[in-house]
Structure 1
Amino acid sequence: MMSRSWRHLCRRYSQAVTFRTTESSPALHNEKQIGLFYSVDKDLVKQLYGHGGFPRSFMKQTKTFTETTIMVRQPALDMMDCIKATDFDKPINKYVLYGEKGAGKSMTLAHLLHFAHTEGFLIVHVPWVSEWLRRVTRMKEMSNSPTREGLVDLPLDAAAWLLHFKNQNQALLKSGNLTTSEQYVWSKRERTAAGAALLELLELGISRVKFSCDVVHNLLREIKRLSSAKQCKTFVAIDGFNGFFYPLTRLRTPTKRTVKPEEVSLATSFLELTKPDWNNGLVVVTADQLAVPDDHQESFLPKYLLYKQGFEHLDPFIPIEVTRYTEKEFTSCAAYYRDRLWLRGPPETETELKFTSACNPYRFMEQCAPL
């Protein structure tokens, strides 16, 4: 166990470096805060990221640190500047976050989700595409779509996503200003009337799981219409978007046939949402090597990861690279880890870690764990 004197020395060392900012609103972050950590309120963490949005390793770290903090980095600030300068009367702009494994793409997206929330956007967030297409568990339920021939439904995954969407947009949905444009008939006894609140449509999809995939499809259509009609501004965020275009999934039909991504109803619904046929919104996606199997990771560039189909689907888009830590970011992160007692040992330890981790945020975090 670390002695009190050594623990005190670590804290004094970390306090010599400024690694926190008291500015908790992403809308007010600027270049002065680059490399600094800001705290996110516990209730907001539960609302925005309770069903996904942070990497699993980061979530474990927040429990250890007893707080949730996000570092302000240049790619997120660049995105925020682009969003603030957007002409929302024109078709949606599309952005692709890319970079090597562990560089912080998902964390940058999490920062942008917080920004979108503070700016009053309706958030449409897919935490990780591969959860649908590549993570197969005993609970995975799959069935043929009753309304779209040739497609398969993932009703439990769709219902879980609807609950995620509901939690992230509580205030906007409860206002009652977002309503359906047409009537939806689900069965002889169940229907959603035209002019009903979107919340009513959501509740049906959550409680009646067999209809959840169709509810998602119609909900996304309504969101495009509402945004174009200036009823809301929509922020679409999809992590691991290139997973939609990898030729194979781990889903199998009863006859053992492999299901292709384009045969999954959830995939087709979200691909429709990322088409530039609506306005008053934007789309931010990540192209991530972890979204596809290990044997397809020769490059982290979007043109490689998205394949020809995905690249053409998003084109034109604005690429934003998420790089390794800069010198300032690494020093700030090391000071934060010392403050949380995640990093211990003499100051010289950081010099070695800087080289062994190559300033990769994930590798640095992992290497500090046993120290």
Structure 2
Amino acid sequence: MMSMRLWNAFASRRTGNMSRNRTPGLGKSGWSVIRARMSSRDLFCAILSIKSWALENPYTAARFVDYIPPMSLSLRLRRLAANRSIVQTLCTSVEAEKSDDGADLPWKRPYLTKESDPLNHSTSDLSFLYQIPSTEYKALLSHGLPRSYRTEVENFGQAGLLIRRPAMKIIKKLQDTKNEVHRFLINGPDGCGKSLTLAHVMHFGFKAGWLIVHLPSALQLVHSSKPVRHSYHNPTQYDQPDESVTWLKTFRTMNSHLLNDMTTCSKYTWGKKDVTHVGDPLGSVIDQGIQKPVHATDAVGVLLKEVALQDNRPILFAVDDFNGFFGLCSVRDPDGNKIAVENLRVRGHFLRALKAMKCGSAVMALSRSGMLNEKKLGFSPGALLRKEGLAAITPHVNVRVDGYNEDEIISMINYYASKNWLTGGYTKEKLEEIAFLTQKNPIALRKLCDPY
């Protein structure tokens, strides 16, 4: 096995000189050190792996042309290959290592399910990945998922999502009790896939025709560096015009196919001239906030109020980093003073809508990433939400997300291998080593496998 990461480490013993426009090579003395530490069998396996890797990744191999060993090493390999008995013994040894008893090659095992519609997912699809259509990914999930996952989707050219038990638990409950209001709290250790679990549930709601009210990150809202202004309604509270406009645009993109059928239930006055009458399309409230940012925060409040009062269409209230609403705030007023988190009006709008919701369910995920005091807190709901946060979502159902199980990590290694993030054969021992190094943590596995 010779992945790009291993090849870089192998070629990092640089003892040669650096030219002006070329990548530094090892130099003859560097290769001498390596040759002295390698047996004939190890040398044969290394060159065989490098050749295999270069054939599978010609474009990437061309970038590392300066790492090709000098002629002396090639001559040694030729002399080694001249003895057919040695070559036959070495090849047999290499093949035996690749096919140990009980050590299946992972990419020969299926890792994708044929069912791409989350409405049809069942327990038989657990530990398999499914592909999200590009149009649905762009409309629904490209705005608020973790940056590492968005980068992965860009590199692979497709969005693959692992079907895991926590998401299926929530989806099953939503299917069985569609007309009841439920609150789910997704929690667990850092980097274990809480945001992607939320994304799977959102995709289900999107396909089921639910209205999606998604806040990508409450922590980003309370740590925003964008300017704020005093509210006209209450001078002690603050509007966030830029953040509000961004959220309104995202909401319209996610729910554009549903907004034409939804109308307002009350009359609203915007300043001295603009008025939204009873029965006007709900999209007019969004347009008012986008076209006039001074009214954007009010438009968010009106929109959430109208959505929460809807009783003819289920609502999926999805908030990531939900604990950000109950922690420290780093937003500053025009005078440069820090603002208390309870004085942000957008936060108040979301919490009131959460309590007033009549039809649908709320799914909230916790996260310590981006918190100012994350090192001092555990990842339990009580530590992150405190009494105020727990009271705001009572009653609720805790849904814990942990690291991958054995089937899930093998599926992910299959997936990465199919995208050339991993190359070469994997024995059972090597898979166990990867699981040990990453502790079956999704983020750690992605970082270990990422060649870039």
The TM-score, its normalising length taken from structure 1, stands at: 0.91
**C-alpha separation in 2, matches of 1:122 and 1:334:** 35
The amino acid of 1:71's aligned partner reads L
Q: Does 1:221 align with 2:305?
A: yes
Greater CA drift, 144-153 or 98-107: 144-153
Q: Which residue, 203, 221, 227 being the options, matches 1:141?
A: 227
Count matched residues. Answer: 356
Q: Does 1:249 align with 2:329?
A: yes
Q: Is the 8 A contact 2:178 2:360 kept in 1?
A: no
Q: What do residues 300-349 of structure 1 show as CA deviations (whole Å, max 9, x unaligned)?
A: 11111111110111111100001110000001100111001112344144
**C-alpha separation in 1, matches of 2:379 and 2:402:** 11
Q: Which residue, 137, 144, 149 being the options, matches 1:58?
A: 149
Residue 72 of structure 1: aligned partner:
163
Residue 357 of structure 1: aligned partner:
438
Instruction: State the 1:222 CA deviation.
Output: 0.7
Instruction: State the 1:261 CA deviation.
Output: 1.3
Q: Secondary structure, in 3 states, of the residue corresponding to 1:306?
A: helix
Q: Which residue, 71, 84, 92 being the options, matches 2:175?
A: 84
Instruction: State the 1:121 CA deviation.
Output: 0.4
Could you list the runs of 5+ residues in structure 1 that have no partner in the other structure? none
Q: Does 1:305 align with 2:384?
A: yes
Q: Which residue, 150, 165, 184 being the options, matches 2:251?
A: 165
Q: Secondary structure, in 3 states, of the residue corresponding to 1:168?
A: helix
The amino acid of 1:237's aligned partner reads A
The TM-score, its normalising length taken from structure 2, stands at: 0.75
Q: Is the 8 A contact 2:132 2:159 kept in 1?
A: yes
**C-alpha separation in 1, matches of 2:167 and 2:376:** 25
Q: How does 1:182-331 map to 2 (within 5 A)?
A: 182-227=266-311, 230=312, 232-246=313-327, 248-275=328-355, 277-331=356-410
Q: Secondary structure, in 3 states, of the residue corresponding to 1:274?
A: helix
Q: Secondary structure, in 3 states, of the residue corresponding to 2:212?
A: strand
**C-alpha separation in 2, matches of 1:119 and 1:295:** 36
The amino acid of 2:195's aligned partner reads S
**C-alpha separation in 2, matches of 1:170 and 1:6:** 42
Q: Does 1:120 align with 2:209?
A: yes
Q: Is the 8 A contact 2:146 2:195 kept in 1?
A: yes
**C-alpha separation in 2, matches of 1:256 and 1:201:** 31
Q: Which residue, 2, 5, 18 being the options, matches 2:110?
A: 18
CA RMSD in angstroms comes to 2.0
Instruction: State the 1:189 CA deviation.
Output: 1.9
Could you list the runs of 5+ residues in structure 2 that have no partner in the other structure? 5-52, 59-94, 99-103
Q: What do residues 154-202 of structure 1 show as CA deviations (whole Å, max 9, x unaligned)?
A: 101001101111010011113xx21111221112221112110001111
Instruction: State the 1:3 CA deviation.
Output: 2.3
Greater CA drift, 324-333 or 307-316: 307-316
Instruction: State the 1:297 CA deviation.
Output: 4.8
Tell me the percent identity: 28
Instruction: State the 1:4 CA deviation.
Output: 2.4
Residue 100 of structure 1: aligned partner:
189
The amino acid of 1:77's aligned partner reads M
Q: Is the 8 A contact 1:125 1:238 kept in 2?
A: yes
The amino acid of 1:224's aligned partner reads A
The amino acid of 2:164's aligned partner reads R
The amino acid of 1:353's aligned partner reads I
The amino acid of 1:58's aligned partner reads Y
Q: Is the 8 A contact 2:229 2:334 kept in 1?
A: no
**C-alpha separation in 1, matches of 2:315 and 2:348:** 19
The amino acid of 1:262's aligned partner reads E
Distance 1:6 1:266, change over 3 A: closer
**C-alpha separation in 1, matches of 2:291 and 2:105:** 53
**C-alpha separation in 2, matches of 1:155 and 1:5:** 50
Distance 1:297 1:105, change over 3 A: farther
Instruction: State the 1:126 CA deviation.
Output: 0.3
Q: Does 1:40 align with 2:132?
A: yes
Q: Is the 8 A contact 1:240 1:291 kept in 2?
A: no
Q: Is the 8 A contact 2:193 2:442 kept in 1?
A: yes
The higher relative CO (CA closer than 8 Å, separation ≥ 6) is in: 1
Q: Secondary structure, in 3 states, of the residue corresponding to 1:169?
A: helix
Q: Is the 8 A contact 1:289 1:297 kept in 2?
A: no
**C-alpha separation in 2, matches of 1:134 and 1:6:** 42
